[in-house]
Amino acid sequence: MSGVSKRVGDPRAMRALAHPARLAILKRLQLEGPATATECAVVAGISPSAGSYHLRMLAKYGFVEDAPPRGDGRERVWRSPHRGFTLEEPDEQTPELAEAKNMLSRVVMDSMAEDVRRYLDSSVRESREWRQAATLNQMTLRANAEELADLGRRVTEILEPYLARTRTPEQAPPDARVIQSVVYLYPRPPGNA
């Protein structure tokens, strides 16, 4: 896997990715490495045949590709060639692009909200140390566009050394776990106090 995020600007690719099972499969491949359709189907909660279909759709737009075979080579193995994806922000946004981008963003946000719900439901089983280390925080800021862009770059720089997609288990401390981070920095729509 390369250390580079896939830049996505094609509305068709955005719509293809805007499916909960495809996002789950892509996340599985990016975090844990190559897998078969059956292994991907488990994390997505779908049948192996549906997993194969979703993998082919992801491959059509370059999100996944064939990986080297393992064992006797009879199973098809897939991998993600990128560490993640970034939606391109063109100077001029067409209605088709805006619709596809919003569709994908909503599916991603729903997935992240579900991750938080699962954490909250299971947090009682976490140790005191892990419960106190977790941060769920909302802050309302005041900044101009230049400051907002700078803040986004700085937050990303702080988090990048810890990215699970590039920091291997061997590089992390022995007690390290995969941590979910969500950062939203956006201007509030006018009229929303």
CB atoms within 10 A of CB 78: 25
Does 189 have pLDDT greater than 80?
yes
CB atoms within 10 A of CB 114: 12
Instruction: Report which of 109, 71, 99, 79 is spatially closest to residue 6, judged by C-alpha positions.
Output: 79
What is the number of alpha carbons within 13 Å of residue 102 lying toward its C-beta? 7
| pLDDT, tens digit (0-9, with 9 covering 90-100), for 141-164 | 999 999 999 999 999 999 999 988
pLDDT for position 2: 53
Give residue limits of the domains in the chain: 6-136, 138-193
Does 5 have pLDDT greater than 80?
yes
- Are 85 and 105 contacting, i.e. CB atoms less than 8 angstroms apart? no
pLDDT for position 182: 87
- Are 25 and 54 contacting, i.e. CB atoms less than 8 angstroms apart? yes
Strands of the sheet with 77-79, listed across from one edge: 35-36, 77-79, 65-66
Per-residue pLDDT band for 13 (boundaries 50, 70, 90) equals very high
| pLDDT, tens digit (0-9, with 9 covering 90-100), for 74-126 | 889 999 999 888 888 877 888 999 999 999 999 999 999 999 999 999 999 99
Q: Please state which CATH class domain 6-136 belongs to.
A: mainly alpha
pLDDT for position 28: 94
CB atoms within 10 A of CB 60: 12
